[in-house]
Amino acid sequence: MRRSKLNILLVAILVIVLVLWLAVPFGMALLWSLVDPSKAWSYPDLLPQKLSFVRWTEMWETTNLALAMGHSYTLAPIVAVCTLILAAPTAYAFARLDFHGKTAAQMLSLLPLVVPEFVTALFFTSLLYKLGIYAKFPAIVLGHIVLFLPYAIRILTVSFAQVRQDLIDAARDLGASPWARFSSAFLPVLKPGILAALIIVFIQSIEEFAISFVVGSPDFTTIPTILYSYLGDNFIRPNAAVVSLILVVPNIILLLIFERLLKSNGAVTVGGKG
Amino acid sequence: MARLEIREVSKTYPNGFRALENVSIDVKSGEFLTLLGPSGCGKTTLLKAIAGFHPVSSGKFLIDGKDVTTDSPERRDTAMCFQSYALFPHMTVAENILFGPRQNRLSKSECDVRLADSLRQVDLEAHSDKLPTALSGGQQQRVGLARAMAMRPGVILFDEPLSNLDAKLRHQVRFEMRALQAELGFTAIYVTHDQAEALAMSDRIAVMKAGRIEQIAPPSDIYDRPANRFVADFIGAANIISAEFMATDTANMWSARTEIGTFKIASDENLTGKKRYICWRPESAEIVENAPTNTENTFTAKVVTQAYQGNVTDIVMRPVTDGSNDTVSIQTRKPETIRAELSIRLAPDAFSVLEDV
Amino acid sequence: MRAYSPSNWKHTGVVLLCLLPGLGLIILLIGTVISMAVAQSVGYFNFSGPSEFSLIYWQKQLASPFLHRSVLYSAKISLLSSLISVGLAYMFAMWLRRPFPGSTMLGGLLKAPMMVPGLVAAFLLLNVIAFHGFVNEFLLWTNIISKPLRMQNDSFGTAVIFLQVWKQMPFALLVLIGPVQSIHNEIFDAARDLGASAWTRFRKIVLPLTLTAMQAALILVFIRAAGDFSFQVIVGPREVSSMAQYMYTVQRLYGEWNEAAVVAVVLMTMSLTGALLLAAVSQFLVTGRRR
């Protein structure tokens, strides 16, 4: 009884802290992005004197933000699909095949997470120079794929492991063709995993900074590299606020859709697991 | 060892569910008391309340006369044997047993004495350096008991400790635990839903249902003199019928009319003119060969179906009386012929008189 | 060992074919990248001048006070970030061990920072602590101070550690919550029953039983924090560089590929040995002194 009351209090405090933690910073970002350039928001004003969408239109028209967004949103789906296709066979082997050195192989698949991203980015660039490859778009696609393969492999391994052998056997016993076997025994269980891998990789690719920045500089921009250019030494707060919101808001919407999809797919998974 | 008094303990959950209602039990020092009942009857709740894990809504617990109701489990003079054994998987048998004494900051020599004693008592000296996972289920159960005993508690609480063992081992451990308790004389509160276990091990059994105690008595009384239909039905097999009592015949001997005939029933109660449920156990039925009709305390019934068990045979019969479609169960040594008509005699003291109809 | 029959060879072939596109690509690329860094650090694959074995780049960098400072600085940031993140993650994991009203929402909120990109997180923190940030505004408004405080780019790196914890704690929580929840309730009850306090239960039961997960979380956070570039550039101290920042500066500003390679090798070595050392120390602390 006492414990539960204490919990309610603690939860309430934490929710308030998190609201301050998330809502206040994002609210301020939103305010900053709406500051009208004609009336600067500076000490001692508590709130901006004038709000407008001027910054947004200005950013869109005068900077290469549109180009960067185009880059990011072409990169991400290509990376997501390629990563998924390349990860699937390895995940299948990890989940359903028996072989010597499986643990070692699984550890090795985490390699991209262990090497610092900037080291990967820098010496990947050096490798590209040595090979005389100057096409930045495919180079970044390759870099992203390798960087995010561990996530996709991990997610799909769990999915493949959930496929029940008795269902596959039953399908074979009933004379199902390989495709029928795949679509009846594998696909229903794999679907949430495939979806999860696609969305996680998509979001990661949109957010990725190190490779896009090092390989892409100076001319190839993505949303995070644009954001970076407005932070740091050359700090332009309203512009950074605009880019931050452009970077974050679609991701949050995507994650909400993803949660919704996973929930409605839950029934399929449970049915599949029996 | 210690005496435990449970005084008018009630527990109501915030959602209004009454897990315990006004439970009072006096457990004597060195007694083996079993809390028996179907799942959800509140027996585990009561046990955890005695240990101090669940605060109660009202009532008191006294150990050797001292009120411990508000003491936390850490400070209460009780030790618990868990259903899952709850052995610490990363500690050896010896470390598990020493955990309690060390937490209580006992001296090294005292710890050693307790470890040696506990290991000897449960006969696990050879396994003291093993991890629990290297032991069999029965051995793990004994480590749990040894760990509890190393605390030298006033009361040891058992939460269905044998339910994870296979049937054969369960039989064996039942004997071992009873012998150990008799030898060391600890006070034990034992929770189970297995009536055979309760009958075999206890000094007294408290039968519980929906948070209340239905009957509390020694095993033989629980079995032979159940207080009501629930107890009669929950423990062993019972034939329960309603009976209308007439005047006494002789002292403590009553005539009662039932759907299967009129019987003489022995009882100390004054039952004149009352309508009560009565019950009798299948094994108390005697088959009377070539009985003349209307022999006292006898009725005729037809064999419906039977199950041969080896040592006994369970027979389901339909009494040959007008209007009744109910069946009765009896137990005999040998199987009978299906559809045979048999005369069955029930002795006057074979009946227990239960509650009003 | 099983005997090698034709079907076993076939099986091995299938396994290799399966591993090739995923694991094969990872090993090929990351392996080449690491080899590239190592080779360039000793003078091979030069972009200018002859490619030949030389230790001059190592001599130059190992003598550089900047490298020393950034190794120490990055190690400090990583150590503090991983300890604080894992400590907080344990706290939340213990709290969320048993579900209670609101625990699902709480879990979701705690994981929210994982979905916010690091650069955005840094920007948001800037908004809060900057000259014109929320904290300063608030303190000015309440007349506690009369002039804004300068909080970003503090020389210790507090802001960087704060951001690392903000970003990494959810990962540590994700790694820890499963193992913590898988400890049977009766184990906790048994420990309580035997007289163990809340702290003892944590120390003697939870820590040893979740040791592997804790080490994984420590390693993960340490390595991620050691390779940090963006937090450092945006809110980190001006007078010292993180290793990734230093490596990038050496390469971009001075065009010294070989020396940058030296820094890269030092960075990889530092993050790996640091992480493993941390895991070893935590193992010793948890299991080493049982009594």
What secondary structure does DSSP assign to B49-83, as a single string? HHHTSS--SEEEEEETTEE-TT--TTTSSEEEE-T
Mutate to test the interface with C, among A96, A123, A214 (most CBs of C within 10 A): A123
Tens of pLDDT, residue by residue over B284-302, are 998 888 767 667 888 888 8
Contact C247 A4 (CB under 8 A): no
Which residue type is seen at C211?
L
Pairing of strands B285-288, B341-346: antiparallel
Q: Scanning the structure block, which residue is given the tokens 């508000």?
A: B70
The token pair at C228 is 């940090």
Q: Are residues C198 and C230 in the same domain?
A: yes
DSSP one-letter string for A233-258 = TS--HHHHHHHHHHHHHHHHHHHHHH
pLDDT at B323: 60
Residues in chain A with CB shorter than 8 Å from the CB of C134 are 24-25, 28
Question: Measured between CB atoms, which of A7, A11, A87 is closest to C22?
Answer: A87
How many CB atoms within 10 Å of residue B25? 18
Residues in chain C with CB shorter than 8 Å from the CB of A150 are 26
pLDDT at C160: 92
Question: Measured between CB atoms, which of A14, A118, A207 is closest to C227?
Answer: A118
Q: Chain C, 123-142: which have a CB under 8 Å from a chain A CB?
A: 123-128, 131-134, 137, 140-141
How many CB atoms within 10 Å of residue B64? 15
Question: In this structure, is residue C138 part of a structural domain?
Answer: no
Which residue type is seen at B111?
C
Residue B306 CA neighbour count, 13 Å, CB half? 22
Question: In this structure, is residue C141 part of a structural domain?
Answer: no
Question: Measured between CB atoms, which of C184, C195, C204 is closest to B86?
Answer: C184
Question: Measured between CB atoms, which of B72, B90, B103 is closest to C194?
Answer: B103
Q: Are residues C160 and C19 in the same domain?
A: no
B165 vs A20: which has the higher pLDDT? B165
Q: Are residues C209 and C110 in the same domain?
A: yes
pLDDT at C5: 57
Q: Is C132 left (phi over 0), alpha (psi -120 to 50) or beta?
A: alpha
Q: How far apart are CA C213 and CA B237, in angstroms?
A: 52
Q: How far apart are CA C78 and CA C72, in angstroms?
A: 10
Q: Is A1 an 8 Å CB contact of chain B?
A: yes
Q: Are residues C153 and C37 in the same domain?
A: no
> Nearest CA of chain A to the CA of C25: how many Å?
7
pLDDT at A255: 78
Stretches in chain C below the pLDDT threshold 50: 1-3, 290-291
End-to-end Cα separation, chain B, in angstroms: 43
CB C142 within 8 A of CB A259: no
The conformation of residue C67, written as its DSSP 8-state character, comes to H
Q: Is C237 an 8 Å CB contact of chain A?
A: no
Q: Which residue of B has its CA nearest to A2?
A: B55
Q: Is C98 an 8 Å CB contact of chain B?
A: no
Q: How far apart are CA A121 and CA A119, in angstroms?
A: 5
Residues in chain C with CB shorter than 8 Å from the CB of B83 are 186
Question: Measured between CB atoms, which of A44, A207, A232 is closest to C233?
Answer: A232
Q: Is C36 an 8 Å CB contact of chain A?
A: yes
Tens of pLDDT, residue by residue over B194-207, are 888 999 899 999 99
Sheet (strand B187-192) strand order: B78-81, B155-159, B187-192, B32-36, B204-209, B212-217
Q: Scanning the structure block, which residue is given the tokens 């009780």?
A: B78
Q: Are residues C1 and C107 in the same domain?
A: no
pLDDT at A270: 35
DSSP one-letter string for B193-260 = S-HHHHHHH-SEEEEEETTEEEEEE-HHHHHHS-SSHHHHHHSS--EEEEEEEEEEEETTEEEEEETT
The conformation of residue B191, written as its DSSP 8-state character, comes to E
Q: Are residues C37 and C60 in the same domain?
A: no
Q: Is C47 an 8 Å CB contact of chain A?
A: yes
Q: Are residues C35 and C171 in the same domain?
A: no
SS (H, E, C) A21-39: HHHHHHHHHHHHHCECCCC
Q: Are residues C165 and C275 in the same domain?
A: yes
Helix, strand, or coil here: B25?
Answer: strand
Query: Among the residues of chain B, which ranges form H helices?
Result: 43-51, 93-103, 108-121, 137-149, 167-184, 195-201, 219-224, 229-234
Residues in chain C: 291
Question: Measured between CB atoms, which of C184, C205, C209 is closest to B84?
Answer: C184
> Nearest CA of chain A to the CA of C243: how many Å?
10
Residue B129 makes CB contacts below 8 A (sequence gap 6+) with B92, B93, B94
Q: Are residues C33 and C162 in the same domain?
A: no
Q: Is B75 an 8 Å CB contact of chain C?
A: yes
Q: Is A9 an 8 Å CB contact of chain C?
A: no
Q: Are residues C11 and C82 in the same domain?
A: no
B interface residues, A as partner, C-beta within 8 Å: 14, 55
Question: By C-alpha distance, which of C278, C241, C279 is closest to C263?
Answer: C241
Question: In this structure, is residue C200 part of a structural domain?
Answer: yes
End-to-end Cα separation, chain A, in angstroms: 37
Question: In this structure, is residue C46 part of a structural domain?
Answer: no
Which subunits count as partners of chain C given 3+ CB pairs below 8 Å?
A, B
> Nearest CA of chain A to the CA of B13: how many Å?
9
The conformation of residue B150, written as its DSSP 8-state character, comes to T
Q: How far apart are CA C185 and CA B159, in angstroms?
A: 14
CATH at C172: 1.10.3720.10
Q: Is C111 buried (19+), middle (13-18) or exposed (0-12) by CB count in 10 A? A: middle
Question: Measured between CB atoms, which of C141, C260, C271 is closest to A46?
Answer: C141
Pairing of strands B298-308, B313-319: antiparallel
Stretches in chain A below the pLDDT threshold 50: 1, 266-274
CA B320 to chain centre: 35
Q: Is C25 an 8 Å CB contact of chain B?
A: no
Which subunits count as partners of chain A given 3+ CB pairs below 8 Å?
B, C
- Kindly report which listed range (A48-57, A186-195, B140-149, B313-322) carries the lowest average pLDDT score: A48-57
Residues of the domain holding C9: 1-41
Contact A115 C122 (CB under 8 A): no
Contact C189 B80 (CB under 8 A): yes
Contact A116 C226 (CB under 8 A): yes
Mutate to test the interface with C, among B82, B98, B191 (most CBs of C within 10 A): B82
In DSSP terms, which residues pair with B279 in a beta bridge? B240, B352
Residues in chain A with CB shorter than 8 Å from the CB of B15 are none
Contact A112 C30 (CB under 8 A): yes
CB A17 within 8 A of CB A10: no
In DSSP terms, which residues pair with B308 in a beta bridge? B313
Q: Is A46 an 8 Å CB contact of chain B?
A: no
Domains in chain B (CATH in brackets) are 4-234 (3.40.50.300), 239-356 (2.40.50.140)
Q: How far apart are CA A7 and CA A14, in angstroms?
A: 10
Residue C51 makes CB contacts below 8 A (sequence gap 6+) with C43, C44, C45
Q: Are residues C67 and C173 in the same domain?
A: yes
Residues in chain C with CB shorter than 8 Å from the CB of A117 are 227, 229, 244
Q: Scanning the structure block, which residue is given the tokens 């001599």?
A: C59
pLDDT at A3: 62
CB contact burial A238-256 (16+ within 10 A = b; e otherwise): bbbbbbbbbbbebbeeebe
Q: Are residues C64 and C173 in the same domain?
A: yes
CA C112 to chain centre: 18
Contact C291 B102 (CB under 8 A): yes
Q: Over 80: is that where the pLDDT of B225 sits?
A: yes
pLDDT at A2: 56
Contact A119 C230 (CB under 8 A): no
Q: How far apart are CA B266 and CA B250, in angstroms?
A: 10
Sheet (strand B58-63) strand order: B18-27, B4-12, B58-63, B66-67
Question: By C-alpha distance, which of B132, B74, B79, B130 is closest to B103?
Answer: B74
How many CB atoms within 10 Å of residue B343? 18
Residues in chain A with CB shorter than 8 Å from the CB of C229 are 117-118, 209-210
Question: Measured between CB atoms, which of C186, C191, C209 is closest to B84?
Answer: C186
CA distances from B100 to B88, B105, B120, B150, C191 (A): 12, 9, 17, 7, 8
Q: Is A3 an 8 Å CB contact of chain B?
A: no
The token pair at A173 is 């016993």
Residue C66 makes CB contacts below 8 A (sequence gap 6+) with C241, C246
The CATH number of A64-273 is 1.10.3720.10
Which residue type is seen at C181?
Q
CB C235 within 8 A of CB C122: yes
Q: Is C273 buried (19+), middle (13-18) or exposed (0-12) by CB count in 10 A? A: exposed
Mutate to test the interface with C, among B80, B92, B155, B158 (most CBs of C within 10 A): B80
Tens of pLDDT, residue by residue over B90-103, are 999 999 999 999 99
What's the mean pLDDT when you consider all of chain B? 89
Helices C25-41, A117-131: crossing angle, 10 deg rounding: 80
Contact C229 A210 (CB under 8 A): yes
Give the number of domains in chain C: 2
How many CB atoms within 10 Å of residue C99? 10
> Nearest CA of chain B to the CA of A1: how many Å?
8
Which subunits count as partners of chain B given 3+ CB pairs below 8 Å?
A, C
CB C291 within 8 A of CB B102: yes
Question: In this structure, is residue C47 part of a structural domain?
Answer: no
Contact C200 B73 (CB under 8 A): no
pLDDT at A167: 82
